[in-house]
C-alpha cells in the first residue's frame, strides 16, 4: 500500500502493481534495501492546465502531466501518452517502470513519463498541434536535453515529437533536437527507431527460446495487438521460421493453424485499420484467443490483459511482454507455477528506449549511424542485458521479472547511495 496522500489504494491500479513488484525485490537488495523507499516515491510530478482555442472559437481545457520518478542515474526518459483515461497515478506507474527499464538495459537515464487526458481522435490536426505546443511550453520548466527527454507512446508519433522539439527550441532560442526522441529522420530522428521495440521483443524472445530449447523454426506464435510493436515482432519471428497462427486487435481475432501470410495480412491491416475481416484466416471469438495452441504468446496491446483466469488457460511455453504491464500480479504467480516462462516488459520491450538513446547520442554528436549499425548495437545491448538478468534469476531462483527488478533497483540505489543525500 502507498503511504502517499495523493494516490488511491485500488489494488489492481498500475501504481499498486508497481509497488508490489518493488516489495518482491527488497529481500534481494542487501544493504541497499535501506534506500528502497526512494523507489516508492516519484521525485517530481507536474500537473498542468492546457487551455486551447478550438476551431469553432470555444476554449477547451485539458489535464496534462509529466512525472519524473527517479533521476539518480541521469536525465528522465519516457514517452508521452494521449488517452482519455490517463491519470496522474497511471503516469506515475509508467514513469517508475521507465526507471526500471532504463536501468535494466544500463542506459544512463532515470525514468519519466507524460500524458494528456484527451481523446486525440476528437481533435482536428490544428487543435492537436495547439494542444501539443501548449503542453510542451507548460512542462518546458522541467524538460530539456540534459533534464528529461520525452518520446512517443500511445497515440503520439513523430509529428507530435516534431512539434514538441520546435516549441521547446523556440522557447530557448536555439534548435534543440536532443529534447525529444522518436522524431522524423530529417529532424534528427534515428533509423531503426520505428521497429526497434518489436526488434527488442524478437531478440529477447530468440535468446529465451534458445535457453529453454524451443526451436523457432516452425514454432507457433499468437500475437495480441498488431500495431507497431506486435506487427514488427511478428515479421521478425516469421523471418526466423516461426508461424504466426493467431492475431487479435481491436477489430477482431483471427486464426490460421498453417500460419498467417504476413505478406497479405500487413497491407490488409494498413488499408482497413486492423486484422478483422482478413480473408486468409478464420475468425474466432475474442476470448478464444487465450486458448490457442501455440508455443509463444506475445501480448503487444494493452495493460492488464493476462488475468488469473486467462493465465490458467494459456497453452504457450513462453510469453513475451511487448506491451507495458500486460500481466496482473496474480496471473504472474500462476504462470510461474505452471512453468510458463515470462520475459517481462521491463526488458522485453526495452528496444524502443534503447534506440531512443542512440538517437539522443547521434543528435549530440550530429553524426548519424547506418541502420545496420543501429540494429547490431541494439542486438548486443539486449542480449547482454538479458544474460545478466538470466544469471540473477538462476542465482536466486526467482522469476525473470523479479530478477530484472533486482538488477535495475541495485543500479538505481547504488547511484542514489554514491551521490548521497543533498544537502
Ligand atoms: P499501436 O497503437 O501501434 O498498437 C496497439 C495495438 O493494440 C493495435 O493493434 C490495436 O488494435 C490493439 N488493441 C487496442 N485495443 C485492443 C483490445 N481491446 N484488444 C486487442 N487489441 C487491442 O501501439 P504500440 O506502439 O504497438 O504499443 C503497444 C504496446 O506496447 C503498448 O502497451 C505500449 O505502451 C507498448 N510499448 C510500445 C513501445 C513503442 O516503441 N511503440 C515501446 C515500449 C512499449
Cis check: omega of the bond before 418, within 30 degrees of 0: no
Cα 83 to middle of ligand 1, angstroms: 12
3-state secondary structure of 341: strand
> Residues lining ligand 1, judged by CB closer than 6 Å?
153-154, 197, 224-230, 248-250, 274, 300-302, 322-324, 349, 352
Please tell me the pTM assigned to this model. Answer: 0.96
pLDDT in tens, the chain (423 residues): 567 888 988 877 889 989 989 999 999 999 999 999 999 999 999 999 999 999 999 999 999 999 999 999 999 999 999 999 999 999 999 999 999 999 999 999 999 999 999 999 999 999 999 999 999 999 999 999 999 999 999 899 999 999 999 999 999 999 999 999 999 999 999 999 999 999 999 999 999 999 999 999 999 999 999 999 999 999 999 999 999 999 999 999 999 999 999 999 999 999 999 999 999 999 999 999 999 999 999 999 988 899 999 999 999 999 999 999 999 989 999 999 999 999 999 999 999 999 999 999 999 999 999 999 999 999 999 999 999 999 999 999 999 999 999 999 999 999 999 999 999
- Report the 10 Å Cβ neighbour count for 361: 14
CA distance 138 to 174: 18
CA distance 348 to 106: 14
In the block, cell 526488434 appears at: 199
Residue 324 Cα: closest atom of ligand 1:
32
- Single out the residue of 61, 75, 72 nearest to residue 142, CA to CA: 75
- Which residue's CA is the closest to the ligand 1 atom numbered 28? 301
What residue segments make up the domains of the chain, in order of their start? 42-176, 196-348
- Single out the residue of 88, 112, 96, 83 nearest to residue 8, CA to CA: 88
How far, rounded to the nearest angstrom, does the alpha carbon of residue 111 sit from its chain's CA centroid?
12
Structure confidence at residue 2 (pLDDT): 64
Residue 252's region, left for phi above 0, alpha for psi from -120 to 50, else beta, is left
Q: Which of 113, 203, 229 to mutate to test the pocket of ligand 1 (most atoms within 8 A of CB)?
A: 229
Backbone angles phi, psi at 51, to 5 degrees: -85, 135
Structure confidence at residue 11 (pLDDT): 76
Cα 269 to middle of ligand 1, angstroms: 14
Q: Do domains 42-176 and 196-348 have the same CATH topology?
A: yes
Pick among 3.10.20.30, 3.30.2080.10, 3.40.50.720, 3.40.50.300: CATH of 196-348? 3.40.50.720
- According to DSSP, the β-strands at 59-70 and 111-117 are antiparallel
CA distance 148 to 352: 17
Q: Which of 301, 306, 325 to mutate to test the pocket of ligand 1 (most atoms within 8 A of CB)?
A: 301
In the block, cell 482519455 appears at: 84
Residues near 377 by beta carbon (within 8 Å), at least 6 away in sequence: 358, 369
- Single out the residue of 139, 145, 177, 144 nearest to residue 161, CA to CA: 177
Q: Which of 114, 225, 265, 274 to mutate to test the pocket of ligand 1 (most atoms within 8 A of CB)?
A: 225
CA distance 95 to 40: 12
CATH class given for the domain over 42-176: alpha beta
Distance set, CA 166 to CA 134, 173, 196, 348 (Å): 12, 10, 24, 32
Backbone angles phi, psi at 66, to 5 degrees: -140, 120
Structure confidence at residue 1 (pLDDT): 58
Structure confidence at residue 303 (pLDDT): 86
How far, rounded to the nearest angstrom, does the alpha carbon of residue 218 sit from its chain's CA centroid?
28
The active-site residue out of 113, 183, 195, 317 is 113
Longest dimension (CA), the chain: 65
Q: Which three cell numbers stand for residue 235?
A: 515479421
Instruction: Note if 388 is an active site residue.
Output: no
Amino acid at each position: 500500500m502507498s503511504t502517499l496522500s495523493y494516490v488511491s489504494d485500488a489494488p489492481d491500479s498500475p501504481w499498486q502493481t508497481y509497488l508490489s513488484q518493488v516489495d518482491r525485490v527488497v529481500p534481494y537488495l542487501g544493504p541497499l534495501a535501506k534506500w528502497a523507499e526512494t523507489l516508492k516515491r516519484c521525485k517530481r510530478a507536474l500537473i498542468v492546465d492546457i487551455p486551447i482555442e478550438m476551431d469553432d472559437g470555444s476554449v477547451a481545457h485539458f489535464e496534462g502531466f509529466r512525472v519524473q520518478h527517479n533521476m539518480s542515474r541521469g536525465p528522465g526518459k519516457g514517452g508521452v501518452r494521449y488517452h482519455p483515461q490517463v491519470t496522474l497515478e497511471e503516469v506515475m506507474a509508467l514513469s517508475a517502470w521507465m526507471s526500471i527499464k532504463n536501468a535494466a538495459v544500463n542506459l544512463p537515464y532515470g525514468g519519466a513519463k507524460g500524458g494528456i487526458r484527451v481523446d486525440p481522435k476528437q481533435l482536428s490536426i490544428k487543435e492537436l498541434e495547439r494542444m501539443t505546443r501548449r503542453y510542451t511550453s507548460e512542462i518546458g520548466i522541467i524538460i530539456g536535453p540534459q533534464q528529461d527527454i520525452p518520446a512517443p507512446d500511445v497515440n503520439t508519433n513523430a509529428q507530435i515529437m516534431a512539434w514538441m522539439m520546435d516549441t521547446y527550441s523556440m522557447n530557448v532560442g536555439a534548435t534543440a533536437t536532443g529534447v525529444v526522441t522518436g522524431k522524423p529522420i530529417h529532424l534528427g530522428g534515428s533509423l531503426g527507431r520505428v521497429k526497434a521495440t518489436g526488434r527488442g521483443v524478437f531478440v529477447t524472445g530468440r535468446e529465451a527460446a534458445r535457453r529453454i530449447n524451443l526451436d523457432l523454426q516452425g514454432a507457433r506464435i499468437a500475437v495480441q495487438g498488431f500495431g507497431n510493436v506486435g506487427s514488427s515482432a511478428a515479421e521478425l519471428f516469421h523471418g526466423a521460421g516461426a508461424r504466426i497462427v493467431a492475431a487479435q486487435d481491436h477489430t477482431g481475432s483471427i486464426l490460421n493453424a498453417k500460419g498467417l501470410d504476413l505478406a497479405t495480412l500487413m497491407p490488409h491491416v494498413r488499408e482497413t485499420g486492423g486484422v478483422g475481416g482478413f480473408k486468409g484466416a478464420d475468425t474466432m471469438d475474442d476470448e478464444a484467443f487465450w486458448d490457442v495452441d501455440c508455443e509463444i504468446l506475445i501480448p503487444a496491446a494493452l495493460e492488464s490483459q493476462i488475468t488469473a483466469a486467462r493465465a490458467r488457460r494459456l497453452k504457450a511455453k513462453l510469453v513475451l511482454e511487448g506491451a507495458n504491464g500486460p500481466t496482473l500480479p496474480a496471473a504472474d504467480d500462476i504462470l510461474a507455477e505452471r512453468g510458463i516462462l515470462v520475459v517481462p516488459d521491463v526488458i522485453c520491450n526495452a528496444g524502443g528506449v534503447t534506440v531512443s538513446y542512440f538517437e539522443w547520442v547521434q543528435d549530440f554528436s550530429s553524426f548519424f549511424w547506418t541502420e545496420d549499425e543501429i540494429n547490431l548495437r541494439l542486438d548486443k545491448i539486449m542480449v547482454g542485458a538479458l544474460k545478466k538478468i538470466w544469471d540473477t534469476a538462476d542465482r536466486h531462483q526467482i522469476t525473470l521479472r523479479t530478477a530484472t527488478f533486482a538488477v535495475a533497483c541495485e543500479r538505481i540505489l547504488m547511484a542514489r547511495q554514491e551521490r548521497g543525500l543533498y544537502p
